[in-house]
Amino acid sequence: MPPDSPAHPTSIRFSRLLLTGAAGGLGCTLRPRLAAYCRRLRLSDIEALGEAAAHEELQPARLEDATAVHALLDGVDAVVHLGGVSTEQPWAPILRANIEGAFHLYEAARKHGVKRIVFASSNHVTGFYRQDEVISPHDPVRPDGLYGLSKAFGENLARLYFDRHGIETVCLRIGSSFAEPKNRRMLATWLSYDDLERLVVASLTAPVVGFSVIYGLSDNTTGWWDNTGARHIGYRPQDSSEPFRAALEAAEPTLDTGDPAALYQGGAFVRTGPFD
């Protein structure tokens, strides 16, 4: 178990958690950290997962494979679903992993009686709002590409499975979760790894979440997303991008306001992708 786990005092809350997308950037970050909260951690991905620790179960699966996803959910208390395409890509892989895959995941959860999912959505669900607007999860979606559109589908799917089947989901519209903010945009969108853990653990353990949407960001000085409607989750970010501001502004002293990437919240995603 990680000695520096910042979210809560170490406490086992789950017999078995499932982490999908466990070989990805955020999956690798959460893998050691989630060990503090469960007896068994089932890890899935299509990429190599390395060696299993004593508390881990490795179960590779393609999300478009309904049978494999059904098996993934067997015996699981809750899911952290990071799996799928996480950048702008052609429609075919997005369709398979993020649309079909999300459907298989929720169907498997329904059949296995799994009642809580933390769904890694994305800020790109609302990427076409401007950087001079502050929005909340109650504002209409404005996806900035096929990837953001697929995450909007995932959120709607989660809404349906809560209304119809009582499966609770917290949709995390993750900003930019990296060890450090990498550019000026990320001064507004950064989510530190410790805050990511706090957010995921709060989403897993809040007593009642129903269907909730919350932006995943640290306590940054500048920002575009109002999370006050999600205070019931109990997430309190403790990091800030501010210590990185001077260096990032010096590295990018001027912004090209003719570039859509500098105008819209989605940054370069608003001009990346399959529409060339």
Just list the catalytic residues: 147
End-to-end CA distance of the chain: 47
Q: Is residue 42 exposed (0-12), middle (13-18) or buried (19+ Cβ within 10 Å)?
A: buried
Q: Which is nearer to ligand 15L, 5 or 86 (CB)?
A: 86
Closest CA to 187 of 248, 239, 124: 248
* Total of chain residues touching ligand 15L, rule CB under 6 A: 7
Q: Letter for the amino acid at 78?
A: A
Q: Are strands 116-122 and 38-44 parallel, antiparallel or unpaired?
A: unpaired
**Tokens standing for 190?**
């950064």
The DSSP symbol for 69 reads: H
Q: Which residue minimizes CB distance to ligand 15L?
A: 176
- Least Å distance, CB 2 to ligand 15L, is 23
Q: Which is nearer to ligand 15L, 5 or 189 (CB)?
A: 189
Distance CA 143, CA 231 (A): 24
Q: Which is nearer to ligand 15L, 167 or 188 (CB)?
A: 188
Among 20, 29, 89, 176, binds ligand 15L (CB under 6 A): 176
> Scanning residues 180 to 219, which ones bind ligand 15L (CB under 6 A)?
189
Q: Which is nearer to ligand 15L, 176 or 205 (CB)?
A: 176
- Least Å distance, CB 222 to ligand 15L, is 15
Helix, strand, or coil (residue 166): coil
- Least Å distance, CB 266 to ligand 15L, is 7
Binding status of residue 86 toward ligand 15L by CB under 6 A: yes
Helix, strand, or coil (residue 27): helix
Enumerate residues 6+ apart whose C-beta is below 8 A from 149. 143
Residues 215 and 175: beta-carbon distance below 8 Å: yes
> Scanning residues 111 to 170, which ones bind ligand 15L (CB under 6 A)?
122-124
- Least Å distance, CB 82 to ligand 15L, is 10
Helix (H) or strand (E) holding 118: strand 116-122
- Least Å distance, CB 147 to ligand 15L, is 7
Q: Which is nearer to ligand 15L, 35 or 188 (CB)?
A: 188
Residue numbers of the site for ligand 15L (CB under 6 A)?
A: 86-87, 122-124, 176, 189
